[in-house]
């Protein structure tokens, strides 16, 4: 018996009648109204090159859905690009925009009772936003990977937006001229799509495939390539079938799927932002998982198999040619959960049967890995009772990474950058940047400019950074521990640090420790006065008042 579509209201009812009146006026007919009604979720924007090509993709998708027997309705969401919206409120709009996407989708798709979704997924926050909405609404959903941007060349060398981002920190420290940075920026981006390195966008595209929520073989992909367009068409046909099959996200996004995605991210030394996004997806779907602990466990046994810029020297283009996410999963196949269902209607094991690795130098075999790991490590201790995170990349080859230094505390990363430039930060210091967490900013402030200033000043190997703020998913130089939780605004131990305290980082032991006697910390805690919440209104005030801790993925839902 054919599935009854929830979008088909009872003949003669008020809901049926007013919808019919609206849709007849749109040019639809009686046959159209019987078809699966599919949201084409488009986060298009003229503000950022990341999204500039999505309207054309939406047209391709809508045409393909119609050809497959569905009825597409294009809907829009907020379209956040980190590089564009980061100036406002010290980057406070970046993370909360993810949750805004989820609610944009819910209000339209659930309100209209559409039958399924195909999401045009692009820049950093759209991928987790789409996945969070998919598992929250639990209607048939498939994501279309909309690709990375072609990068450029300057003075005979490769240059991309990651180089520009890092270069800005070098300007702060006085080691790069403003004119040189401007010239780099002029040559860095040569077309639409997301940042071309293994930053948050490409990492989350790989996550999407490893979770089973996009067609296998579609990540990463060059934006506007024939391959991208072909996958968009195939995905459009597949979403119609998924609706009739009643294949839903919660059938796919199981514990095994999250573990597979974690392994894939560790194997490519992907963005640390993937950790909180995966946790947020799990929370939205009531999947009882501690993603931070899963990362901790799997980081101890997952090797680093690829080194795409800025982790290593390979390009995202070479990674795609080598087989991309499918090739990484093929290498890891013995340790993956092959029974996990995917949007194809087949299992991971079935999908990987035909997968191949096309370049052993770019995606290495298990007997010739870049490192045994960890590419990403979760640190805990009396300074981070819940969690903190560090991306090591190729530096994970150095066994027993340790650092003990003297704290220099800042509540503003620009003041920290100024101290670096003036020479007040010296080898052996631990820069503590606090008050940048989800409630403190509010929205979670970035700490990357200060990190880049450390690198630009040549202190990357002699100075550490510890912060409750977020770090770049693209570039993190040196020993940098981010997202310390609980955050300072919640009275976390990071709020108790004084200038001159000793802080110890031990990667092998996965520990982050404030080397101060417990009695002294107790006295400081008793006398601690939390800072007055920063004055803000509107969306950021809503986020600040409702955001859950990092252990819950910093989502804004309340249970």
Q: Could you tell me if residue 65 is inside a domain?
A: yes
Residue 419 and residue 535 share a domain:
yes
pTM: 0.96
Residue 201 and residue 54 share a domain:
yes
> Domain range for residue 221?
35-150+191-352
Which of the listed residues 134, 166, 189 is the one where a domain comes to its end?
A: 189
Residue 442 maps to which CATH number?
3.50.30.80
Alpha carbons 508 and 358: distance in angstroms, whole number: 34
Could you tell me the pLDDT band of residue 460, with boundaries at 50, 70 and 90? confident
Q: Could you tell me if residue 460 is inside a domain?
A: yes
Residue 167 and residue 142 share a domain:
no
Q: Could you tell me if residue 169 is inside a domain?
A: yes
Q: How many domains does the chain have?
A: 3
Alpha carbons 270 and 159: distance in angstroms, whole number: 20
**pLDDT in the model for residue 373:** 77
Residue 158 and residue 146 share a domain:
no
DSSP secondary structure of 465-481:
EEESSB--SS---SEEE
Residue 211 and residue 139 share a domain:
yes
Torsion 103-109-110-115 (CA) sign: negative
**pLDDT in the model for residue 396:** 64
Specify the higher pLDDT residue, 357 or 170: 357
Closest Cα to residue 78, out of 133, 150, 148? Answer: 133
Alpha carbons 469 and 451: distance in angstroms, whole number: 12
Alpha carbons 224 and 160: distance in angstroms, whole number: 18
The pair of structure tokens assigned to 526 is 């008793």
Residue 474 and residue 339 share a domain:
no
Could you tell me the pLDDT band of residue 448, with boundaries at 50, 70 and 90? confident
Which of the listed residues 320, 352, 384 is the one where a domain comes to its end?
A: 352
Q: Could you tell me if residue 18 is inside a domain?
A: no
* Mean predicted confidence (pLDDT) in 206-224: 98
Pairing of the two strands 464-467 and 479-485: parallel
Residue 92 maps to which CATH number?
3.40.50.2300
Q: Could you tell me if residue 369 is inside a domain?
A: no
Q: Bridge-partner residues for 117, per DSSP?
A: 39, 141
Cβ atoms within 10 A of the Cβ of 130, count? 31
Q: Is the model's pLDDT at 551 over the cut of 80?
A: yes
Based on the number of CB atoms within 10 Å of its own CB, is 12 exposed (0-12), middle (13-18) or buried (19 or more)? exposed
As a whole number, the mean pLDDT across the chain is: 94
Torsion 417-420-424-430 (CA) sign: positive
Burial 289-299 (b: 16+ CB within 10 A, else e): bebbebbbebb
Residue 315 and residue 382 share a domain:
no
Contacts of 272 (CB under 8 A, 6+ apart): 376, 389, 390, 391, 471, 473, 476, 482, 483
The pair of structure tokens assigned to 481 is 């521990």
**pLDDT in the model for residue 43:** 93
**pLDDT in the model for residue 397:** 62
Alpha carbons 179 and 205: distance in angstroms, whole number: 34
Could you tell me the pLDDT band of residue 177, with boundaries at 50, 70 and 90? very high
- Which stretches does DSSP call E strand in 277-337? none
Q: What percent of the chain has pLDDT above 90?
A: 86
- Integer CA distances (angstroms), 274 to 258, 265, 445, in order: 11, 8, 17
Q: Could you tell me if residue 360 is inside a domain?
A: no
Give pLDDT tens digits for 346-381. 999 999 999 999 999 999 999 999 998 799 999 999
Q: How many CA atoms lie within 13 A of 387 on its CB side?
A: 24
Backbone φ and ψ for 477, nearest 5 degrees, come out as: -100, 135
Which of the listed residues 162, 189, 216 is the one where a domain comes to its end?
A: 189
Residue 235 and residue 182 share a domain:
no
Closest Cα to residue 122, out of 217, 180, 58, 38? Answer: 58
Residue 443 and residue 348 share a domain:
no
Alpha carbons 513 and 503: distance in angstroms, whole number: 6
Residue 163 and residue 111 share a domain:
no
Could you tell me the pLDDT band of residue 92, with boundaries at 50, 70 and 90? very high
Q: Is the model's pLDDT at 56 over the cut of 80?
A: yes
Residue 138 and residue 56 share a domain:
yes
Closest Cα to residue 328, out of 196, 204, 219? Answer: 219
DSSP secondary structure of 128-172:
HHHHHHHHHHTS-EEEEE--BPPBEEETTEEE-HHHHHHHHHHHH
User: Are the C-beta atoms of 263 and 335 separated by less than 8 Å?
Assistant: yes
**pLDDT in the model for residue 394:** 83
Q: Is the model's pLDDT at 172 over the cut of 80?
A: no
Cβ atoms within 10 A of the Cβ of 354, count? 10
Question: Which residues are annotated as catalytic?
Answer: 472
Q: Is the model's pLDDT at 282 over the cut of 90?
A: yes
Q: Could you tell me if residue 142 is inside a domain?
A: yes
Residue 118 and residue 206 share a domain:
yes
**pLDDT in the model for residue 534:** 81
Q: Could you tell me if residue 332 is inside a domain?
A: yes
Residue count of the chain, please give it. Answer: 559
Alpha carbons 146 and 43: distance in angstroms, whole number: 11
């Amino acid at each position: 018996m054919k599935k009854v579509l929830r979008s088909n209201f009872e003949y003669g009812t008020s809901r049926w009648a007013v919808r019919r009146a609206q849709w007849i006026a749109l040019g639809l007919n009686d046959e159209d109204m019987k078809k699966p009604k599919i949201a084409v979720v488009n986060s298009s924007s003229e503000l950022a090159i990341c999204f500039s090509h999505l309207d054309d993709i939406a047209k391709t998708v809508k045409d393909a859905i119609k050809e497959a027997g569905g009825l597409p309705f294009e809907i829009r969401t907020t379209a956040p690009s980190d590089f564009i919206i980061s100036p406002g409120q010290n980057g406070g709009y970046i993370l909360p925009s993810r949750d805004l996407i989820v609610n944009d989708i819910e209000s339209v798709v659930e309100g209209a009772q559409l039958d399924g979704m195909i999401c045009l997924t692009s820049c950093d926050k759209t991928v987790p936003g789409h996945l969070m909405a998919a598992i929250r609404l639990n209607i048939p959903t498939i994501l279309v990977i909309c690709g990375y941007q072609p990068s450029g060349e300057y003075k005979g060398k490769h240059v991309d937006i990651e180089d520009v981002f890092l270069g800005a920190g070098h300007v702060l420290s006085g080691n790069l001229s403003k004119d040189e940075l401007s010239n780099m920026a002029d040559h860095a981006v040569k077309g639409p799509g997301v940042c071309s390195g293994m930053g948050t966008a490409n990492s989350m595209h790989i996550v999407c495939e490893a979770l089973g929520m996009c067609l296998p073989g579609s990540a990463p992909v060059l934006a506007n390539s024939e391959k991208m367009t072909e996958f968009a068409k195939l995905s459009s046909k597949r979403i119609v079938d998924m609706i009739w099959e009643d294949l839903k996200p919660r059938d796919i996004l199981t514990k095994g799927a999250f573990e597979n995605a974690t392994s894939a991210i560790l194997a490519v030394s992907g963005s640390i932002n993937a950790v909180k996004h995966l946790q947020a997806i799990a929370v939205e779907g009531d999947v009882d998982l501690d993603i931070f602990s899963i990362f901790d466990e799997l980081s101890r046994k997952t090797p680093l198999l690829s080194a795409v810029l800025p982790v290593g020297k390979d390009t995202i283009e070479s990674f795609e040619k080598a087989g991309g996410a499918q090739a990484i999963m093929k290498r890891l196949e013995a340790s993956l959960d092959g029974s996990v269902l995917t949007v194809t209607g087949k299992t991971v094991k079935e999908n990987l049967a035909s997968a191949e690795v096309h370049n052993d130098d770019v995606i290495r075999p298990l007997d010739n890995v870049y490192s045994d790991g960890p590419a990403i490590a979760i640190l805990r201790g009396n300074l981070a009772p819940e969690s903190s995170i560090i991306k090591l990349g190729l530096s994970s080859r150095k066994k027993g990474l340790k650092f003990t230094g003297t704290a220099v505390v800042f509540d503003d990363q620009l003041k920290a950058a100024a101290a670096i430039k003036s020479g007040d930060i010296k080898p052996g210091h631990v820069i503590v940047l606090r008050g940048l967490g989800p409630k403190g900013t509010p929205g979670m402030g970035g700490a990357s400019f200060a990190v880049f200033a450390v690198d630009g000043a040549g202190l990357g190997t002699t100075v550490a950074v510890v912060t409750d703020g977020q770090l770049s998913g693209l570039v993190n130089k040196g020993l940098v521990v981010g997202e310390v939780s609980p955050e300072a605004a919640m009275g976390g131990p990071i709020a108790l640090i004084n200038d001159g305290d000793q802080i110890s980082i031990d990667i092998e032991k996965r520990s982050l420790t404030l080397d101060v006697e417990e009695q002294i910390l107790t006295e400081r805690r008793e006398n601690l006065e939390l800072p007055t919440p920063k004055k803000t209104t509107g969306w950021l005030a809503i986020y600040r008042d409702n955001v859950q801790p990092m252990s819950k993925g910093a989502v804004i839902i309340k249970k």
